[in-house]
């Protein structure tokens, strides 16, 4: 075979001139040119990706500030969604629902000039609608997200991954097993608190409100709702399912519409620019910016969150010998990044920071690693996060989900 190739090349050089060395040089030159072109294209793409995310943040900040001003004019406060609260306003913003996944309660409020009896009936209707609302309806009603994505699509240069929501299972009622309107009405009547009345910012109106308590088992039922996804992706990416549950619990309290204005979205609070891009590339081999609508879908969110845990555990901290020590580093890294975890051990050293940190970590017991991180991590938020998640990992290891 080698002889045939050599004869073929020799014949071509005789026919078309030049030498074998010239042929090889031309091939090497072509490859070098190709590689240079590829590198330049990647650098251009990376630059556009960074620019797009900065644009996204600017648009989000602008629209968020505008949205809060609109709320303040009517309510005198700026209540919006958080990682553990799903807050939704009606189109005229005179009605709002606040589902608090941490406190296990629903609060419904309306601004009205109607008498108390009429207002109470309207509160009842809104409470029933809240229990019946599906993810599909919730996304359609998310005015702020729709504004941001509409404006961003006008200026984005890199591909953006979006997703249509098709889930028609009630977000709250489905977890409680309330399968009919009759059951939902009965539940609201049985669990509704007294009607509260306070002054409104709008002359001639009042604010009417009521709170509906959710059962103590609600968080566990939410966890079970996502058990198929957690089992599938923890197995696929070889991460402990107790860790995935603990992260979801700590990030969002199982609120599928979780958002913070970092920005981060969904059950595992994925930041589009960092964990989102890294995890999406790891799974799909494409660098993409992820939209809020994509990250709100539990399947997408748990898949990428589990993939990012894999990256931390098996890539950044792969040389940490003790599994429990590696787990602590992974938990802290999920919150603050692998670089900041390494910084806790080696300070501001930049060159080979993670490798040097790992050398120190491997000389410690898991308990010593945990205590060292709690004392030396750069941010108090990450210290609290590590404590909270590590505690919950131990709890979820004992729960059969």
The reply to whether 224 and 351 lie within a common domain is: yes
The last residue of a domain, from among 201, 216, 231: 216
Give the range among 41-50, 79-88, 243-252 with minimum mean pLDDT.
Answer: 41-50
> Which pLDDT tens digit goes with each residue over 298-328?
999 999 999 999 999 999 999 999 999 999 9
Amino acid 7: pLDDT: 39
Averaged pLDDT, 127-148: 95
334 is in which domain, residue-wise? 220-398
The reply to whether 200 and 227 lie within a common domain is: no
Return mean pLDDT, the chain: 90
The reply to whether 197 and 267 lie within a common domain is: no
The reply to whether 262 and 316 lie within a common domain is: yes
Q: Ramachandran region of residue 201, left (φ > 0), alpha (ψ -120 to 50) or beta?
A: alpha
The reply to whether 244 and 332 lie within a common domain is: yes
Amino acid 15: pLDDT: 41
The last residue of a domain, from among 181, 216, 251: 216
Q: How far apart (Å, rounded) are the C-alpha atoms in residues 200 and 175?
A: 34
The reply to whether 209 and 324 lie within a common domain is: no
Amino acid 262: pLDDT: 86
Rounded to whole angstroms, what are the CA distances from 118 to 114, 188, 230? Answer: 6, 17, 45
More confident residue, 87 or 47: 87
The reply to whether 369 and 229 lie within a common domain is: yes
The reply to whether 128 and 257 lie within a common domain is: no
Give the confidence band of 44 by pLDDT, cuts at 50, 70, 90.
confident
What CATH number corresponds to the domain at position 376? 1.10.530.10
- Is position 44 within any domain? no
- Is position 249 within any domain? yes
Amino acid 25: pLDDT: 60
Nearest to 265 by CA among 395, 117, 81: 81
The reply to whether 142 and 234 lie within a common domain is: no
Q: How far apart (Å, rounded) are the C-alpha atoms in residues 237 and 309?
A: 8
The reply to whether 202 and 176 lie within a common domain is: yes
- Is position 22 within any domain? no
> Which pLDDT tens digit goes with each residue over 100-126?
999 999 999 999 999 999 999 999 999
Q: What is the pTM of this model?
A: 0.87
The last residue of a domain, from among 188, 216, 244: 216
355 C-beta neighbours (distance < 10 Å), count: 11
The reply to whether 255 and 171 lie within a common domain is: no
The reply to whether 199 and 336 lie within a common domain is: no
Domain tally for the chain?
A: 2
CA 71 to chain centre: 25
């Amino acid at each position: 075979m080698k002889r045939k190739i050599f004869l073929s090349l020799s014949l071509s050089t005789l026919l078309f001139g030049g030498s074998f060395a010239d042929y090889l040089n031309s091939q090497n030159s072509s490859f070098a040119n190709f590689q240079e072109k590829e590198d330049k294209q990647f650098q251009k793409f990376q630059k556009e990706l960074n620019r797009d995310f900065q644009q996204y943040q600017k648009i989000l900040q602008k629209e968020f500030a505008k949205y809060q001003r609109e709320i303040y004019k009517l309510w005198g406060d700026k209540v919006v969604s958080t990682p553990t609260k799903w807050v939704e306003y009606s189109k005229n913003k005179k009605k709002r629902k606040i589902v608090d996944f941490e406190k296990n309660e629903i609060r419904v409020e309306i601004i009205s000039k109607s008498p108390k009896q009429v207002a109470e009936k309207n509160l009842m209707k809104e409470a029933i609608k809240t229990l019946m609302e599906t993810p599909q309806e919730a996304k359609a009603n998310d005015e702020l997200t729709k504004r941001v994505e509409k404006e961003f699509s006008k200026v984005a240069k890199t591909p953006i991954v979006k997703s249509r929501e098709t889930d028609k299972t009630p977000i709250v009622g489905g977890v409680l097993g309330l399968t009919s309107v009759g059951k939902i009405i009965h539940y609201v009547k049985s669990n509704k608190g007294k009607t509260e009345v306070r002054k409104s910012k709008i002359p001639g109106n009042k604010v009417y409100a009521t709170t509906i308590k959710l059962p103590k088992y609600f968080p566990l039922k939410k966890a079970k709702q996502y058990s198929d996804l957690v089992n599938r992706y923890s197995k696929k990416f070889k991460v402990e399912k107790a860790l995935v549950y603990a992260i979801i619990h700590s990030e969002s309290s199982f609120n599928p519409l979780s958002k913070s204005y970092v920005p981060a979205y969904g059950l595992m609070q994925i930041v589009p620019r960092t964990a989102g891009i890294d995890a999406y590339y790891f799974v799909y081999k494409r660098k993409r910016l992820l939209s809020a609508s994509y990250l709100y879908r539990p399947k997408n969110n748990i898949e990428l969150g589990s993939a990012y845990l894999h990256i931390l555990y098996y890539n950044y901290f792969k040389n940490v010998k003790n599994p429990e020590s590696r787990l602590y580093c992974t938990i802290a890294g999920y919150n603050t990044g692998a670089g900041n975890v390494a910084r806790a051990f080696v300070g501001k050293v930049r060159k080979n920071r993670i490798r040097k940190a790992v050398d120190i970590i491997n000389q410690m017991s898991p308990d010593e690693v945990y205590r060292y991180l709690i004392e030396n991590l750069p941010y108090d938020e990450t210290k609290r996060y590590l404590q909270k998640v590590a505690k919950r990992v131990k709890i979820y290891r004992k729960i059969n989900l």
